[in-house]
Amino acid sequence: MIATIQYKSRNRQIDLTQPIDISIPLRASKNNVNAWYVDPPTIAPVKDGEFMIAVKHGACINFNTVNFNPHAHGTHTECVGHITEDVHSINTHLKQFFFLAEVITVAPERLNGDSVISKKQIQFALGNKKRDAVVIRTIPNTTEKLSAQYSNTNPTYMLEEAALYLKEKGIKHLLVDLPSLDKEKDECMLLAHNAFWNTSGKLRFDATITEFIYVPNHVEDGTYFLNLQIAPFENDASPSKPILYKILE
């Protein structure tokens, strides 16, 4: 099925039968991707006394309770409420779901023993392109990202200057294959989050950050339409399923 989407007075066609899912699924396993020092997620049948409500245990239905943290256990999309005293809801503030996106690949630099994404790397990759969203794939890009245990590993993060550049460039939706935009232990400064959401000025309520994505190696850098799907959680963050679609020439 071919869909025509109008973007800034120009019609673009996408093939809805060829979605590229860049989310990481949540599994009830110690091998589920994890960060922030929490236990693995669990998915388990509700118990009624000693009776487990699951078909394999004699019930007529499967009736599971899912216990997880959206920030720690997989692909999630967050709004400025993640770092403000007032807990603004992603479900309230994300009201559009299709965006013109640029996929870029970045080889993080070394800075004072850390692995970082710098402003100049993003400037080089984006050039003069005008986009709603930027999807950042870091290298090396192995399938280990699907099950990585990030706690106490000081993973790659984005420098404040890079986040500020993206904000000034008008990028509304930033997607990264990292557990956080910021350094794991930074004395709660959250420099990149604050820069991107402009917490020192007018808050960017319509801007989002999506973390813990995975962009397979066969997906080429370039321009796509992004469908940013979230669950309707009234919370600062929600599990999400970002889908890319190639733009047909």
User: Token pair of 122, please?
Assistant: 């993003």
Instruction: Give me the average pLDDT of each 10-residue run along the chain (249 residues).
Output: 75 90 97 98 94 96 98 98 95 96 98 97 95 97 98 98 98 98 97 98 97 98 97 98 92
Outline where DSSP puts E strands in the chain: 2-7, 10-15, 20-21, 42-45, 47-48, 51-52, 64-67, 76-78, 98-106, 109-111, 114-117, 133-138, 157-158, 173-176, 208-211, 222-230, 237-248
DSSP count for the chain of H helices, then E strands: 4, 17
Burial class of residue 27, CB neighbours in 10 A (0-12, 13-18, 19+)? middle
Give pLDDT, residue 69: 98
pTM: 0.96
Residue pointed to by tokens 């956080």: 180
Give pLDDT, residue 66: 98
Helices 160-168, 119-126: inter-axial angle, 10-degree rounding: 40
Give pLDDT, residue 12: 81
Q: How many residues comprise the chain?
A: 249
In the 8-state DSSP scheme, what is residue 185? S
Phi, psi of 97 (to 5 degrees): -130, -5
Instruction: Name the maximum alpha-carbon separation found in the chain.
Output: 63
Quote the CA–CA distance of 95 and 76 in Å, as a whole number.
Answer: 16
- Please enumerate in sequence order all residues whose Cβ is within 8 A of that of 172, keeping only pairs 6 or more positions apart, or say none: 99, 132, 133, 204, 206, 207, 208
Give pLDDT, residue 167: 98
Which 3-state string (H, E, C) describes 147-160?
Answer: CCECCCCCCCEECH
Burial class of residue 204, CB neighbours in 10 A (0-12, 13-18, 19+)? middle
The CATH number of domain 2-26+70-248, selected from 3.40.50.300, 3.30.230.10, 3.50.30.50, 3.30.70.1350:
3.50.30.50
Which 3-state string (H, E, C) describes 99-151?
Answer: EEEEEEEECCEEECCEEEECHHHHHHHHCCCCCCEEEEEECCCCHHHHCCECC
Give pLDDT, residue 1: 77
Quote the CA–CA distance of 6 and 15 in Å, as a whole number.
Answer: 14
